[in-house]
Every structure is written in structure tokens, then in C-alpha cells.
Chains A and B, each alone.
Chain A
Amino acid sequence: MIVANTLFTRVVRNSPYLLIALLVVPVLGGLLGVLLPAFGWFPALGAHEFGLFGFVQLFQTPGIERMVLLSFGTSLVSTLLAFIITILILASYFNSPWLKRIQRLLGPILVIPHAAAAIAIGFLITPSGFLSRLVSPWLTGWDTPPDWLLPHDPYGLSIIFGLTLKELPFLLLIALGVLAQPEIGKTLRAQHKVASSLGYCPMTGFFKVILPSLYGYMRLPLLAVLAYSSASVEIPLILGPNTPPTLAVAIMQWFSDVDLSLRIKASSGAILQIVITLSLLGSWWLLELLVKKCSAAFLINGEREHGGMLIKRLTDMITVAMLTIIGLALVAMVLWSFAGFWSYPDILPQQLVSLHWTSALLQMQTPLFNTLVIAISTTLIAIALTLLVLEAEQQNTKTISAISGFIIYLPLLIPSIAFLFGIVWLFEQVNSQHAYVNVVFSHLLFVLPYVFLSLANSYRRLDPRFSSVAASLGVPPSKIFWQLKLPLLISPILIASALGLAISFSQYLPTLLSGAGRINTITTEAVTLANGASRRTSAVYALMQMLLPALFFILAWAVPKFFFRKRG
């Protein structure tokens, strides 16, 4: 496509380079900033010689094997569980109106930040939590909270529980997104119909026909979930054990320690974290090979029915239990935020007060302001850059290369704990003293991939004939972009903005590290309060964490309906 050489087209043409640079430089620079201290080079401490001292120190840490095992085990088991439940739900309700209903119920869970979800689950499973109150004393005979170790259990069961509940809606919505794509969805449904006409019961037909094809589309998001959960901090910090914690939490504590010498050990730990994540991805790949090999004969053995009804009943129970748990966790959180005196084992508080909300709202003015300013700045940059890159694709009449596509998702695949500390080191090297700018920059690394993922499909599907018609009428490219494409894409742009804001709201580690502890947001406060004394204030902060993204998603949904409704 021949385009005029104007300032706009030049900016558009160069935007992909800017995007790639914005992602590659900090991630690779961050990795380098961790790699050097990990191998002993840390000039600030006078360490100028390379060596394995950091690793020796790391492996001498008491409980290091348990940390590694916890990180590895909790992420593998939770991802596996979330995947299995997702598949069971899809198989049981495929072609049923219930699938849409479950999607509607689970969809909003996606916008709940990990920290808020962990706090909500904590309220449910603590000894004096909602779950034990519901069954006491009438069923259990408990007049005082039971002596159980949940949350913070040494086996990481609470972490697995939290991660599974949080990952499940994501995987389910990814799968439903694939099935909603006109070509793929139509073919898969028709193939399911063929299997049915060949005598396969719907459940077996799903496992033998749909799953092998669908899995290919779910693979990358699954690996991203696995990588994320192996190095996540929020859920293990709130629900996990302390002695020892998961490796990611331990690394964060070492990096944040006032004793700077621990930085070398922390950097070595970050390298170990990458190794764990890579091992997990490798294990998943081996698991795939094993399943593929074992299922080859199963797929074509001619067996039409494999206990479909039993699996369906089991899935019904799991689905109901899961939705009930999520519902109860939310109810518990709302109750705690209004609870006055609430003795055990009463199901409801003796009195409801608004005191916690009024005092928390007064305290949270600065965090709220910070949260909004950082999220809005980050999202604006991400949206602008994404739109320019997608416009560049259309001007070049080809999509960005596979390598560039991979780079966009790089920050989601590499454990953030492994490069964020390096980024802090980079900020120190360039003497960046502006905490706000640093935080916005680090949030951008996580907001950009999601905004790009959300907008790319709509932008690429926009009928190119609109632009051709406008160009034939003499309209310049900049005007086509501003006055034709953007108004046509207002709905997806607003949804992508809401998603960008939600991602920014939920960032804990990037805010904590890039802001050097000077920038407090709703999320950093919520995590700090989660393990503190006041369950009530913690509930208010967690609810605010949920309400903020929900508010912006409602706005993104309602604004186009209000302003762009059909006339006449």
C-alpha cells in the first residue's frame, strides 16, 4: 500500500520499533540486572568479581528445597486442576445453554485482582471464617474456631485452592473465546455433530473430537498461566505458609531486606526461579507427550461411551461447589466490611456498621489517587501505542512478524520477579528519581500485552474497504485514522482500556519495587493489610480492588450504548 509521507505516517511506521524497544529493553535489561549480581557482580557492595557465592548462599538457606517444591508443586497442581475443571465444564455443557450461564457467572471473576481473590478466600477458610461458621455448631459442635492450619498450611493447599479458582475463569473464557470464533467454532461444532451421528455420546465426542483440536488453541494461555503461577507473589503471600514461603515470596523478602548483601542471594534466587518456571514448562510438555502417546489408541478404539453420565454428575457437583465457594467468599467479604461485633460461631455479625468504610475511605484517598493516576497514564500510553502499531500493520498490509508477536507477550511468559528487580537496578543506573514515572513504566510491561491482545482482533477485522473508499475520496491517512477507524472501534477500544486499567490496578510487585515503597496504591495497601490485624479494613480494601475494575468495565460497556445508540 502506498501512503503519503506525513508526520502521522512516519510516527505510525516507527511505532512497532518503539513498542518492541519498550518491551525488550526493560525485560532483557532487567534480566541482565539480575544475572550480574546473581554471579557476584554488585559494585554497590564492592563486589566486582564473578563467582557462585550467591548460589552457595542460596542453597545454604534453610528450607530452600521446600520453597522450590512449594513453587513447583502449587503451580503445577493448580494449573492442572484449573485445566481439568475447565475441560469438564466444557465437555458437560457443550451445546447447552448452561455454558453461557456459567460464563456469565465466572466472567466477572476475571477482573478481580489476585490479591483481592486471595483475601476473599482467606475470609472463607480461616478457622473463624465463613465456612466453619456455616457448619458450626449444629454440625460440628464447635463453639470456638477449630485448630486447623488453613490458610498458611505448610503443603500449599490454600495456594492451590486460590490459584485454581483464579485461573479457572481465565482458561474457561479463553476456550469459549476460541469456540466463539466463527470459523473454528463452526467447524468444531460440526465435527461434534459428525461424532454424534457416528454414535458417540456427547461427552465422549467432546473428548475424542473437540479437545484435541481445542487444546492447540489453549496451549499458549495455559503455559502463560503456568509460568505466572510459578512466580506469583500475591496469593502465596496472603494464603501461603511463612516458614518457609514459596521461592518467589522469599526472593521478594530478600530483595526488600534492609541488608543489601541479601541482594546477591535474591538475584541468584531469581535465576533459580527462572529455572523452576522453565522446568515447569518442560514438565508440562512431557505430560503432553505422555497423554498424546497414551490416548492414541483410546481415540480410535470405537468405544462410544466412557461413563459420560458419571462425569457429567461429577462436573455438576464441582461446578455448583465452585460457584458456591466464590459466592460465599464474596458474601463473607461484604459482611466483614460492615461487621461490628461478630462472635464465633455466629453466621451473621451482631451489628452492621459503616464505620470501616468511612474510615477506610478517608485513609485511602492518596492510594486511590495514585492507583487512578498510574492506571490511567499507563492505559493511555498502551492504547495509543497499540493503535499505532495496528495501524502500521494495515499501512504495511501485513501483520507484525511472529518474533514481534512473541516479544509482545514476553513479560507474561518470563517470571516478573526475575526481571523486575533488574529494572529497579536499571532505574538506579539512569538515575530515574521519579517514582511515578518508574511505576507507570513497569506497569506498562504488563498492561501492553493485554491491551494488544484485546484490541488486535477487532482492529484487524475492520473492513479495509472503509479506508479504501475514504482514501479514494481524498481523505488523508491521519483523518481516516482519527475520524473513521477510531469511532468505528470505540467499543473495543473502551473494553481494552477497561482491561488495561484493571491490569494496572492489580499490580503489586511492580508498584512496590519500581516505586521503591514510596507509592501506595489500593493493591499494595490491600496486600499489606491482608496479613494484618484488621480483617474489616482489609475487606474494605479488597472490595475497593474489585469495585474499581468493575466500575470501568461497566462504563466501557455502557458508554457506547448511551452515546452511540441507533438513531430513529
Chain B
Amino acid sequence: MKSTLTQKIPSLNISHLQLKQQGTSLLSLNEEVKGGEVLTIMGPSGSGKSTLLNWLVGMLPSDFTATGELYLNGQDITNTASHLRHIGLLYQDPLLFPHLTVAGNIAFAMPKGDKQTRQDEISEALNQVGLAGMEKRCPQQLSGGQQARVALLRVLLSKPKAILLDEPFSKLDSQLRQETRQLVFEQIQRYSLPAVMVTHDQSDALAAQGKVITLDTVSLNEVAS
């Protein structure tokens, strides 16, 4: 039913989710995010934002319990192992792998394939985000903004079906924040990916131009706009 209805349209559907911590209700959510849209989750510390992301990627800590279902492009992935979900994650820290070069970090994320084709794809992607010729650099040699762009490329080139953003711009300064934010949202629309963003920052929420949900510390959510 639901799965057949939404099969063709990229979407992430959080259906009747109830998250509990040691029996106490933490949050309830029932939302659908369409491809290219960004659902923003705001709220104070302890309101369950990170727990929600952990549930979405299938890594809910053992002291939490959840009921409800998660559909990705119409497919029920509630009980799918986290590495088989095809949900990309972008953190506030770029978390680039220090033992790999810039190209290595991106190649790590790409599906298997012809070596030359992959290299060409990496060069083209780097070129598009203003990092042409930086393939052989170590992540430590890049600035914060450059690292953030490589982290974004790494997620996008892994060909995810949805993307989660965990305070992705909070460690960038104001100018860089705007640029990176614009780039990320452009790419989300370009690839038509459903996205869920957790943030403390009102300006991130406004820039996302999507639905904003503000969680409170008690339990249920409140729709802000």
C-alpha cells in the first residue's frame, strides 16, 4: 500500500515513530521527506535530536527503544542493518580518514568499478566544488572549508538514497558557513535526495527552506513552520 504508492518518488518516510529512553517517552514523529527536501529538526540538548539520527541510521544505543517504521523510497528499512540502508551521514566534523588522500577518501565511498572511471569521476567532482588538483593532498593539509567540501563529496559519490546532516555547519565561520550551506542544499536538490538536518541554528533552518520541527525536552514535537 504505502510502499506501492511511494515507490517511484524518492522519499524518506518516518512512520509513527515513538522513541523512548528507559521507558520514558522522548519523542514522537510521523513525517515524510521528499527527494530534494530538507526536514529540519531543532531543539535543545537532550530533546532527542541525535537519538533520532541514530535511529534513522540504525545505530540506536541499547538504552533507547523505538516503535514505528522507516521507509526509504517505499522500502521498509526499519530492521535493515545500518550499512545496508544507503543513508549518508554528514557531521559537524568532516571526519575524513587521515590515512587516505583526498581522492582516497572519496574513492573509499564510491561503489566498485573501473579504476580510471572512478579517478575521472573524482577529479570532475573536485573540480565542481573548487578543489581541482587536490586529489593527492592529505586531509590535514586542507582548510576547514575544503575538508567540509570533501566530506560532502564523499557522501554524495557513495550514491546514497537519503542524507542526514548532524549540525553540519556549526564549526564553520560565518562566510564559510553560508557558502558551504548553499553548496550542500544545491547538491541535495541536484541529486533529489530526501534530507534530515539536525541543527541549533535558526539561520540553517531558514536556509534549508523546508519544514522545521522543534522538539522540546518533554516529549512531543511541535511544528514551527
Contacts and interface: CB of A to CB of B under 8 A. Distances in A.
Interface string A302-345: 11100000000000000000000000000000000000000000
A201 B118 CA distance: 21
A213 B96 CA distance: 12
A212 B99 CA distance: 7
Contact of A190 (B87, B95, B158): B95
A208 interface: yes
A241 interface: no
Given A194-B89, A301-B112, A202 B59 contact: no
B98 interface: yes
B84 interface: yes
B93 interface: yes
A220 B97 CA distance: 22
A431 interface: no
A304 B81 CA distance: 13
Contact of A196 (B62, B82, B95, B112): B82
Contact of B104 (A191, A200, A202, A299): A299
B21 to A, nearest CB: 18
A197 B155 CA distance: 9
A194 B160 CA distance: 12
A193 B89 contact: yes
B19 to A, nearest CB: 18
Given A300-B107, A302-B110, A196 B97 contact: no
A396 B204 CA distance: 45
Contacts of A209: 97
Given A191-B97, A299-B100, A299-B104, A200 B83 contact: yes
B95 A199 contact: no
Interface in A171-188: 187
Contact of B108 (A97, A190, A300): A300
Contacts of B172: none
Interface string A281-306: 00000000000000000011111100
B109 interface: yes
Nearest to B112: A302
A212 B107 CA distance: 16
A302 B107 contact: yes
Nearest to A302: B112
A196 B57 CA distance: 9
A191 B151 CA distance: 11
Nearest to A186: B93
Nearest to B105: A300
B91 A194 contact: yes
B23 interface: no
A301 B115 CA distance: 8
Contacts of B91: 190, 194
B151 to A, nearest CB: 8
A187 B84 CA distance: 22
A198 interface: yes
A500 interface: no
A40 interface: no
A303 B91 CA distance: 23
Given A190-B91, A197-B88, A198-B154, A299 B108 contact: yes
B83 A199 contact: yes
Contact of B112 (A187, A208, A212, A303): A303
Contacts of B107: 300, 302
B130 interface: no
Which of A193, A299, A300, A301: most chain B Cβ within 10 A? A300
Contacts of A202: 83
A189 to B, nearest CB: 10
Interface in B37-96: 57, 59, 62, 81-89, 91, 93, 95
Interface residues of A, number: 25
Contact of B82 (A191, A197, A213): A197
A190 B88 CA distance: 13
Which of B83, B89, B154, B164: most chain A Cβ within 10 A? B83
Interface in A85-119: 97
Interface string B123-159: 0000000000000000000000000000000110010
B86 A199 contact: yes
B158 A199 contact: yes
Contacts of B84: 199
Contacts of A199: 83-84, 86, 158
B100 A300 contact: yes
A568 to B, nearest CB: 26
Interface string A205-228: 100110011000000000000000
Given A190-B91, A190-B93, A196 B83 contact: yes
Contact of B87 (A97, A195, A197, A200): A197
Contact of B83 (A97, A205, A301): A205
B102 to A, nearest CB: 11
B97 A201 contact: no
Contacts of A304: 83
Which of A190, A196, A205, A304: most chain B Cβ within 10 A? A196
Contacts of B85: 197
Contacts of A302: 107-108, 110-113, 118
Interface in B154-177: 154-155, 158, 160, 164
Which of A194, A299, A301: most chain B Cβ within 10 A? A194
A11 to B, nearest CB: 42
Contacts of B155: 197-198
A198 B89 CA distance: 8
B99 A213 contact: yes
A191 B89 CA distance: 11
Contacts of B93: 187, 190
Which of B62, B82, B88: most chain A Cβ within 10 A? B82
A97 B63 CA distance: 13
Interface in B171-189: none
B59 A193 contact: yes
A524 to B, nearest CB: 46
Contact of B109 (A187, A190, A198, A213): A198
A190 B89 CA distance: 10
A200 B62 CA distance: 21
B51 to A, nearest CB: 14
A304 B109 CA distance: 9
Nearest to A295: B99
A187 B96 CA distance: 10
A201 B83 CA distance: 6
B137 to A, nearest CB: 15
Contacts of B158: 198-199
Given A212-B97, A302-B113, 11 more contacts: A97-B62, A187-B93, A187-B95, A190-B91, A196-B83, A197-B57, A199-B158, A201-B83, A299-B108, A300-B107, A302-B118
| 10 tightest A-B CB contacts, nearest first | A212-B99, A197-B89, A302-B112, A300-B107, A196-B83, A198-B158, A198-B109, A196-B82, A300-B104, A300-B108
Interface of A: 97, 187, 190-191, 193-202, 205, 208-209, 212-213, 299-304
11 contacts: A187-B93, A190-B95, A191-B97, A198-B83, A198-B108, A198-B109, A199-B83, A199-B158, A213-B98, A299-B99, A299-B104
